[in-house]
Amino acid sequence: MGAPGLMAALLQLDGVVAGYARPVSPAASFALARGEVLGLAGPNGIGKSTLLRAVIGTARVFGGTLRRAADARVAHLPQQLPRPAEAPLSGRELLRYLRAEALPAPASLAARLEQRIDRLSGGEYQLLCLWACLAGDADLVLLDEPTNNLDQDHVRLAAEEIAAGA
């Protein structure tokens, strides 16, 4: 850690243009220090998810510089969660395997933790995976459309937990 006021950035983007076969996102510049929450806003198709994927290394950087703290552990909640059709894994086991058991889960989630993940609703599964990212040991948490499938109460809960997680 640096001196007070000069906290080292976990993530720094300077004019980063990301894409796959060709550039997709416009140039983006920002820095993110530990404890900060940053939201990316923009129209559909502008390349927000692509930018996040460039940070985790599954999309290409066409321009600019992208620096990530070398020892930063990353959690990434993708926009579309892969979900096996048949999965004999309870929500509690999922949190244990992802080392996300240290914090007590929100009440509405805790009540469903003994259920198999393939028997959870889409919203319940989204909330479980979101909580796994937030309650885990990651230094840098990247959430792509974290409120997908959530009802209004859970959107509010997700926002509170994201803010508290910072």
Partner 1 sequence: MASLFDDLFVVPFFAGLAVALLLPLVGNLLRLRDEWLATLGLAHLAAATGLIGMAFGVPPIWGARLFPEHEVANRLPAWRWHLGFDLLSALAIAAATATVGLMGAFALIFLPSWLAFRLAPDWRRANLLAVAIGAGGYTLAFALALALDQPFAPVLAAVLIGLFALGARGGRRAAGADFPSV
- Residue number, 34 or 76, with CB nearest to partner 1: 76
Query: Closer to partner 1 at the Cβ: 2 or 118?
Result: 118
Q: How far is the CB of 156 from partner 1 (least distance, A)?
A: 25
Q: How far is the CB of 142 from partner 1 (least distance, A)?
A: 8
Q: List residues binding partner 1 (CB under 8 A).
A: 53, 56-58, 73-76, 78, 81-90, 92-94, 96-98, 114, 116-119, 129, 142
Q: Contact, 132 vs 100, CB < 8 A?
A: yes
Tracing tokens 């390349």 back to the chain, one arrives at: 47
* DSSP reduced 3-state for 66: strand
Burial 85-124 (b: 16+ CB within 10 A, else e): eeeeebbbebbeebebbeeebbeebeebbebebeebeeeb
Nearer to partner 1, 125 or 150 (CB): 125
